[in-house]
Amino acid sequence: MHADPAADGPAPGTVDVAVRPAGPGVHVVAVVGDVDAAGVGAVRAGVDEAVGTGARTVVLDLTGVVLLASAGMTLLLEVDQDLRGRGCALLLVAGSVRSVRRPLAITGLDRVLTLHDDVPGALEAASDHG
pLDDT tens, position by position, for the chain (130 residues)?
333 334 455 676 789 999 999 999 999 999 999 999 999 999 999 999 999 999 999 999 999 999 999 999 999 999 999 999 999 999 999 999 999 999 999 999 999 999 999 999 999 999 876 5
Q: Which fold has domain 5-129?
A: Transcription Regulator spoIIAA (3.30.750)
Give the residue from 25, 110, 130, 3 showing the smallest Cα distance to 62: 110
d(CA 125, CA 105): 21
Backbone φ and ψ for 75, nearest 5 degrees, come out as -60, -45
d(CA 43, CA 36): 10
List, in sequence order, the alpha helices (H) in 1-130.
40-52, 70-85, 98-107, 119-129
Please give the pLDDT value at position 14: 86
Name the pTM for this structure: 0.89
Please give the pLDDT value at position 129: 63
Query: Structural domain boundaries of the chain?
Result: 5-129
